[in-house]
């Protein structure tokens, strides 16, 4: 199951637990008891406000910072203090600490944990607890919050490490693909030179010798010499054709791009390279770097499940690369070194590149056909 599916199930489970925590208060009120301090509607306002703010934190576009976690912490504290006799409500404080660790800074998280521990101790005071009971309550809930914060921070560090590893892996694969294509191009050029310098010269000399022999020979040997001279010329033509094909050989763009995106755990990459695309070495290198930047950008910033990469030809013969993901996008695009490098590489080939972040992230590059 994808990480986003697990996150959605976790959010739904957390919300369900918070709803269950409010059930004893509802049952007590229906039975005629008063588990709350003050009017019942006040507690319901605090409780429903807490649930509403908690639901907002599940959105993908929730900003990182203190305001929302602090607001949830205040609503949770009010919910606990207005119903001290409903013992299960103090569990909400542990959830608030985990939320603060996920969205807020370390300083804000420490403040939330300290405040929540004080709230739990205050609730024990409102229940006329002894000093030992009050201290033990604050200590227990403080320990639970610290464990929750530690678990959330550990998960965040692990996620960040996985992303860094995936980015490094994509960059390494792109570099390996470029080195492999460069090595293959160098080997093709070396073989072409050897064929031309060795076989080509020898066959040329052989053809000349056979031509001289044809003029000096007498029938019936002359017919055999003429056939041998014809075969030598045909073989020389075949060698020249092979040398030309080796020099004009183009890199395998589809294989190079497939090597970059192979075995990525997230996002799932859907690659489609038109077999009619015929890119030279410079164009292939630029397209490989474009795909590398699209993959690393999606891993670092997109939080996407899927990435679609398509390479084809336009009606005017241009090579067109489109990479788009289903991530969260951004309202304002800020070009970093990677995207700036992509624009420069495509510009050097006489092409154009465009970026769109309104719905996910989309990179569109057009390169003139070599």
For the beta sheet containing 362-367, the strands, ordered from the edge strand earlier in sequence to the opposite edge, are 268-273, 306-313, 319-325, 362-367, 352-356
Cβ 64 vs Cβ 101: under 8 Å:
no
Which parts of the chain sit beneath pLDDT 50? 1-2
CA-to-CA distance for 181 and 345, rounded, in angstroms?
18
Q: What is the pLDDT of residue 114?
A: 92
Confidence (pLDDT) at 1: 36
Q: Output the pLDDT for position 188.
A: 65
Determine the pLDDT at residue 157. Answer: 87
Comparing C-alpha atoms, which of 202, 200, 179 is closest to residue 191?
A: 200
Give residue-wise pLDDT tens across range 273-302: 887 777 777 788 888 888 888 888 888 776
Which pLDDT score is estimated for 250? 57
**Nearest alpha-carbon partner for 187 in 239, 246, 241:** 246
Fold of 251-367: Heat Shock Protein 90 (3.30.565)
**Residue 356 host element (H or E):** strand 352-356
pLDDT of residue 245: 57
- Burial class from Cβ neighbours inside 10 Å (0-12, 13-18, 19+) for residue 102 reads middle
């Amino acid at each position: 199951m994808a990480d986003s599916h697990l996150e959605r199930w976790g959010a739904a489970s957390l919300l369900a637990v918070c709803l269950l925590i409010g059930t004893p208060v509802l049952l007590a009120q229906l039975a005629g008891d008063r588990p709350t301090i003050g009017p019942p509607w006040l507690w319901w306002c605090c409780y429903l406000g807490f649930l509403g703010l908690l639901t907002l934190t599940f959105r993908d576009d929730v900003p990182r910072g203190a305001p929302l976690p602090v607001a949830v912490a205040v609503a949770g504290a009010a919910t606990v203090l207005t119903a001290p006799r409903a013992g299960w409500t103090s569990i909400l404080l542990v959830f608030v600490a985990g939320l603060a660790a996920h969205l807020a800074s370390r300083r804000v998280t420490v403040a939330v944990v300290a405040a929540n521990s004080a709230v739990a101790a205050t609730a024990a005071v409102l229940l006329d607890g002894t000093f030992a009971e009050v201290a033990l309550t604050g200590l227990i809930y403080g320990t639970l919050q610290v464990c929750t914060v530690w678990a959330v921070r550990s998960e965040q560090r692990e996620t960040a490490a996985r992303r860094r590893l995936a980015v490094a892996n994509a960059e390494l694969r792109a570099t390996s693909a470029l080195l492999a294509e460069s090595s293959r191009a160098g080997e093709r050029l070396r073989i072409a030179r050897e064929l031309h310098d060795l076989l080509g010269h020898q066959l040329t000399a052989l053809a000349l010798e056979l031509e001289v022999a044809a003029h000096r020979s007498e029938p019936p040997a002359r017919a055999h010499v003429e056939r041998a001279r014809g075969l030598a010329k045909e073989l020389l033509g075949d060698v020249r054709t092979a040398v030309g094909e080796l020099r004009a050989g183009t890199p395998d763009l589809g294989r190079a791009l497939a090597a970059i995106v192979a075995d990525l755990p997230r996002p799932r990459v859907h690659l489609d390279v038109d077999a009619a695309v015929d890119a030279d070495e410079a164009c292939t290198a630029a397209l490989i770097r474009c795909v590398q930047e699209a993959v690393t950008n999606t891993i670092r910033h997109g939080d996407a499940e899927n990435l679609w990469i398509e390479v084809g030809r336009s009606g005017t013969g241009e090579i067109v690369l489109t990479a788009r993901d289903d991530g969260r996008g951004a309202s304002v695009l800020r070009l970093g070194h990677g995207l700036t490098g992509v624009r420069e590489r495509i510009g050097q080939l006489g092409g154009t590149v465009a970026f769109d972040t309104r719905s996910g992230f989309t990179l569109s590059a057009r390169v003139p056909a070599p």
